[in-house]
């Protein structure tokens, strides 16, 4: 989701269904306030979190919201779905306006999902340029060995996308379990990487995104607001 930046005159004209000429006269009469200050020019920039008042009436007021959800299996990482319960359905009692998911997980994957209405923040987390590390605990059907470590680090050719995956870290935890750290998020990436070894993924659990760790006091399906410190870990 893109941040909703734009000009205040465009916003007011659309909101009040009036021509831009009328917006200019509102401005000339000092009847338009942005975050409590009188608006001087029609091209003043606003975003989805700007407090906008016109003739004493609030036209837009929205707080930034940041949630962490322990996604259980069988819940889809989407805002709406005809078939399955969605991650947003689990956020009971929460205002869903503009909420979106910063980094999806497959239907059967579990673990950390970050959900926000702040598009700038989620873009910073998910932009390929920022190479934010996502850490997963992966359980495999067959034993793993050191040859996997090299293959993950060396990158794998993905025919469909026409790319070679970036160097990924694989740490063997036990015969059937590994920690995998990715700096990107291609479709079914981890399953496809283990697929090269004909080794099906039995369970996939995201432990962290960047410096934000899944709160280990949360149970599957539970969520909480991010602390201000956690929010500030993304920039």
Which residues make Cβ contacts (< 8 Å) with residue 159, sequence separation at least 6?
none
Strands 110-116 and 201-209: parallel
Catalytic: which of 47, 81, 89, 106?
A: 106
Dihedral, 71, 77, 83, 85 alpha carbons, nearest 10: 30
Q: Is 146 a catalytic residue?
A: no
Say if CB 124 and CB 130 are below 8 A apart.
yes
Give the residue from 22, 21, 33 showing the smallest Cα distance to 57: 33
Min dist. Cβ of residue 114 to ligand URA (A) = 14
Q: What is the DSSP secondary-structure string of 112-136?
A: EEEEES-HHHHHHHH-GGG---EEE
What DSSP element (H or E) covers 199? Answer: none
Residue number with CB closer to ligand URA (59 or 179): 179
Residue number with CB closer to ligand URA (39 or 105): 105
Min dist. Cβ of residue 189 to ligand URA (A) = 4
Residue number with CB closer to ligand URA (26 or 204): 204
Give, as ranges, the residues between 129 and 158 that touch ligand URA (CB under 6 A).
none
Encoded one letter per residue, x for contact with ligand URA by CB under 6 A and - for no contact, window 173-192 reads ---------------xxxx-
- How many helices (H) does the chain have, and how many strands (E)? 7, 17
Residue number with CB closer to ligand URA (100 or 191): 191
Residue number with CB closer to ligand URA (71 or 120): 71
Residue 4 in the binding site for ligand URA (CB under 6 A): no
Say if CB 175 and CB 123 are below 8 A apart.
no
Q: How many CB atoms lie within 10 A of CB 122?
A: 21
Residue 196 in the binding site for ligand URA (CB under 6 A): no
Residue 168 in the binding site for ligand URA (CB under 6 A): no
Min dist. Cβ of residue 75 to ligand URA (A) = 12
Choose, by CB under 6 A, the member of 204, 209, 214, 226 that binds ligand URA: 204
Min dist. Cβ of residue 148 to ligand URA (A) = 15
DSSP state for residue 74 in the 8-state scheme: T
Instruction: Give, in order, the Cα–Cα distances in Å from 62 to each of 47, 115, 140.
Output: 10, 16, 44
Min dist. Cβ of residue 44 to ligand URA (A) = 41
Give, as ranges, the residues between 102 and 131 that touch ligand URA (CB under 6 A).
105-106, 109
Which residues make Cβ contacts (< 8 Å) with residue 176, sequence separation at least 6?
139, 140, 141, 142, 143, 144, 202
Site size for ligand URA (CB under 6 A): 8
Active site residues: 106
Residues that bind ligand URA (CB under 6 A): 105-106, 109, 188-191, 204
């Amino acid at each position: 989701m893109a941040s909703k930046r734009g000009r205040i005159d465009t916003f007011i004209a659309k909101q009040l269904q009036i021509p831009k000429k009328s917006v200019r006269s509102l401005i000339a009469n000092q009847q338009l306030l942005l975050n409590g200050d009188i608006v001087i020019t029609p091209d003043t920039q606003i975003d989805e979190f700007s407090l906008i008042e016109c003739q004493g009436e609030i036209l837009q007021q929205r707080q930034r919201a940041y949630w962490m959800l322990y996604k259980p299996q069988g819940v889809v990482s989407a805002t709406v779905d005809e078939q399955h319960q969605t991650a947003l359905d689990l956020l009971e009692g929460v205002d869903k306006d503009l909420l979106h998911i910063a980094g999806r997980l497959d239907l059967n994957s579990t673990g950390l999902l970050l959900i926000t209405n702040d598009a700038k923040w989620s873009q910073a987390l998910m932009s390929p340029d920022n190479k934010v590390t996502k850490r997963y605990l992966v359980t495999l059907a067959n034993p793993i060995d050191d040859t996997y470590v090299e293959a993950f680090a060396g990158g794998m050719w993905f025919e469909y996308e026409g790319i070679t995956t970036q160097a990924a870290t694989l740490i063997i935890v036990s015969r059937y379990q590994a920690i995998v750290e990715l700096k990107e998020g291609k479709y079914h990436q981890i399953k496809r990487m283990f697929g090269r070894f004909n080794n099906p993924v039995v369970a996939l659990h995201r432990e962290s995104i960047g410096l934000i760790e899944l709160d280990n006091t949360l149970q599957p399906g539970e969520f909480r607001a991010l602390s201000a410190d956690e929010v500030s870990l993304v920039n």
